[in-house]
């Protein structure tokens, strides 16, 4: 038996690298990322799929592969086709970022592999994450009693908030069909997914009309709530948006929060895209009333330019989150004994989780807040600049003045179908690939949308898009 164990140990210890092997991996990975980043400005923002990925299709086997081969595979079969999320030319959907110090934060967190779920496991990691949650709570204007959790993204953060709302509002299975939820058609689709996942898919969904800037119409909301009360139904949840994905609109949060208070509804605000614009003088006033929301979602992997993998859910009273996530498990008795404060696992759908605070804490501390504020303010002005340029150019139709950093627009051709023309225009942008934008349907029309949020997006990329569009319109029209 001992012989067998020793034999297995010999093979198993290949998993432990020695100093030289570690240095080699790190050097080669560093050389790879340096080569990637030094070429980033010349790289395309979009490359169509060739469908060729022979190495990725190869099955796993018992044999080891050389790290250089793996990096080659990454270079040729992963880091080439599709949207280049690291490019400043990425102005489609809601761009993420990918701050380098965050990558280093992930590296450090992964090597020590600190468990940030319970204080007993790593009091330091838990404290660090609490600081980040506290900072975001202060940013939105929440009281000391507030709390929250760092999640993998906005969708999971929204789900956590909806589950919390359900528990605290006491919506039981038998109540679902009489319970009313209020949202606009511009709410992010993950809210619908969250409702379904939370067993609330059969709630009555009232789609609240919007004003001409795609913001929730408060008087229409009030009317709907009152009508539902008269009918003997149970209005319980309003889901508003602080920065919709499609048009970047911020709902009138202050008025909505007053209505929620008056009628005793839970107000949830999805600020996944827009939340960090609270850092900017230009847009702060629009968020007035956000502090009265019962729950809020923010996405540091959007507005703080972190690599994908960071969302946050915040609640006005941390006990709500704890109550909705409370559990008992005998095997957790050592970890939970004598805990004075909540640990992340008490406030989360997750138990084992990465120490995801470090990827956010390092860049915020390393840079300080000033460049984040400046970068976000720059994005606001880039969107305003783009909007103003198209607005003053004949035959272009622009959507509303951007609340934040999303602009919708389309070209109006002299003859022919406008939807088709704009589809051809966006195809041309994609074919060129230097920058990438996306499209959507607004009021039944095909429109293009520019979303400026990447920290590498500057005047250069926006001006390039403008000149490209003007040139293509001339080509397509002739
Ligand atoms: C991106 C986004 C989400 C979803 O967040 P993920 O991080 O992609 O899961 C939700 N709501 C809004 C407004 C968003 O922009």
Mutation choice for ligand 1 from 184, 191, 245, CB with most ligand atoms inside 8 A: 245
Angle at 83 between CA 80 and CA 89, to 5 degrees: 105
Q: 44: left (phi > 0), else alpha (psi -120 to 50), else beta?
A: beta
Residue 173 per-residue DSSP state: G
Q: Hey, which of 97, 149, 161, 190 would you mutate to test ligand 1's pocket, going by the most ligand atoms within 8 Å of its Cβ? A: 190
CB environment 104-116: b (16+ within 10 A), e (fewer): ebbeebeeeebbb
Is residue 190 in contact with ligand 1, taking CB distance under 6 Å? Answer: yes
The residues with which 314 forms a beta bridge, in sequence order, are 148, 296
CA 406, CA 399: separation in Å to the nearest integer?
A: 10
- Tell me if residue 51 falls in helix, strand or coil: coil
Spell out the domains of the chain, with CATH numbers in brackets.
106-367 (3.40.640.10), 370-477 (3.90.1150.170)
Measured CA to CA, the distance from residue 230 to residue 208 in angstroms comes to 18
In this structure, the dihedral spanned by the alpha carbons of residues 217, 222, 227 and 233, taken in order and rounded to 10 degrees, is 110
Rounded to the nearest angstrom, the gap between the alpha carbon of residue 41 and the centroid of all alpha carbons in its chain is 24
For residues 376 and 276, is the Cβ–Cβ distance under 8 A?
yes
Nearest CA to ligand 1 atom 8: 154
Q: How many CB atoms lie within 10 A of CB 431?
A: 10
Paired with 269 in beta bridges are: 240, 296
The whole-number pLDDT of residue 328 equals 76
> For a pocket test of ligand 1, which of 149, 247, 270 has the largest count of ligand atoms closer than 8 A to its C-beta?
270
d(C-alpha 42, C-alpha 39), whole Å: 6
The strand pair at 266-271 and 234-241 is best described as parallel
DSSP 121-165: T-HHHHHHHHHHHHHHHHHHT--TT-EEEEESSHHHHHHHHHHHH
Any idea what the Cα angle at residue 409 is, between residues 300 and 407, rounded to 5°?
Answer: 25
Q: Is 333 exposed, middle or buried (0-12, 13-18, 19+ CB in 10 A)?
A: exposed
pLDDT tens for 221-260 read 999 999 999 999 999 999 999 999 999 999 999 999 999 9
Q: How far is the CA of 167 from the centre of ligand 1 (A)?
A: 23
Query: Is residue 211 helix, strand or coil?
Result: coil
Lowest mean pLDDT: which of 245-254, 311-320, 336-345, 462-471?
Answer: 336-345
Q: What is the pLDDT of residue 336?
A: 76
273-303: per-residue pLDDT in tens? 999 999 999 999 999 999 999 999 999 999 9
* Residue 462 DSSP SS3: helix
Q: Contact 156/299 with Cβ under 8 angstroms? A: no
The predicted model scores a pTM of: 0.97
d(CA 277, CA 451): 14
**Residue 179: which H helix or E strand, with range?**
strand 179-183
Residue 382 CB less than 6 A away from ligand 1: no
Task: Please indicate whether residue 272, judged by its CB atom, sits closer than 6 Å to ligand 1.
Answer: yes
pLDDT in tens, 48-84: 999 999 999 999 999 999 999 999 999 999 999 999 9
Q: What is the pLDDT of residues 102-134, one digit of tens each?
A: 999 999 999 999 999 999 999 999 999 999 999
Atom of ligand 1 nearest to the CA of 155: 9
Tokens of 102: 């965050």
Alpha helix stretches (DSSP H) within 149-252: 154-168, 189-197, 218-230
DSSP summary character for residue 75? I
Cα-to-centroid distance, 324 and ligand 1 (Å): 22
């Amino acid at each position: 038996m001992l012989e067998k164990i020793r034999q297995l140990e010999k093979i198993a210890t290949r998993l432990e690298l020695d100093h030289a092997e570690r240095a080699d991996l790190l050097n080669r990975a560093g050389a790879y990322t340096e080569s990637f980043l030094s070429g980033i400005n010349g790289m395309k923002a979009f490359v169509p799929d060739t469908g060729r990925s022979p190495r990725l299709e190869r099955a796993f086997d018992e044999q080891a592969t050389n790290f250089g081969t793996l990096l080659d595979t990454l270079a040729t079969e992963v880091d080439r086709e599709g949207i280049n999320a690291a490019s400043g030319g990425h102005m489609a959907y809601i761009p993420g970022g990918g701050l380098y110090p965050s990558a280093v934060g992930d590296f450090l967190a992964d090597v020590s592999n600190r468990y940030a779920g319970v204080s007993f496991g790593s009091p330091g990691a838990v404290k660090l994450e609490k600081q980040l949650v506290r900072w975001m709570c202060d940013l939105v204007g929440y009281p000391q009693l507030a709390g929250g959790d760092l999640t993998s993204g906005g969708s999971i953060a929204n789900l956590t908030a909806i589950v919390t709302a359900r528990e605290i509002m006491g919506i039981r299975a038998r109540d679902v069909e009489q319970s009313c939820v209020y949202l606009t058609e511009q709410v992010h689709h993950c809210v619908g997914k969250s409702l379904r996942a939370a067993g609330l898919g059969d709630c009555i969904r009232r789609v609240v009309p919007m004003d001409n800037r795609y913001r929730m119409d408060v008087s229409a909301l009030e009317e709907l709530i009152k009508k539902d009360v008269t009918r003997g139904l149970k209005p319980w949840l309003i889901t508003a948006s602080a920065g919709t994905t499609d048009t970047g609109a911020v709902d009138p949060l202050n008025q909505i929060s007053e209505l929620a208070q008056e009628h005793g509804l839970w107000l949830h605000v999805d600020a996944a895209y827009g939340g960090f614009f609270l850092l900017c003088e230009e847009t702060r006033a629009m968020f007035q009333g956000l502090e009265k929301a019962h729950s809020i979602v923010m996405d540091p992997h959007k507005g703080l330019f972190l690599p994908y993998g960071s969302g946050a859910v915040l609640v006005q009273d941390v006990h709500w989150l704890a109550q909705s996530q409370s559990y008992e498990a005998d095997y957790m008795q050592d970890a939970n004994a004598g805990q004075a404060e909540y640990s992340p696992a008490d406030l989360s759908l997750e138990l084992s989780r990465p120490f995801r605070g470090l990827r956010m804490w390092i860049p915020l501390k390393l840079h300080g807040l000033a460049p984040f504020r400046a970068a976000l303010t720059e994005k606001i002005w880039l969107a305003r600049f783009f909007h103003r340029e198209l607005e003053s150019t004949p035959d272009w139709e622009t959507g509303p003045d951007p609340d934040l950093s999303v602009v919708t627009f389309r070209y109006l051709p002299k003859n022919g179908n406008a939807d088709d023309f704009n589809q051809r225009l966006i195809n041309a942008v994609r074919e060129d690939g230097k920058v990438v934008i996306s499209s959507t349907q607004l009021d039944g029309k095909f429109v293009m949308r520019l979303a400026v949020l990447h920290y590498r997006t500057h005047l250069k990329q926006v001006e390039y898009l403008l000149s490209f569009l003007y040139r293509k319109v001339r080509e397509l029209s002739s």
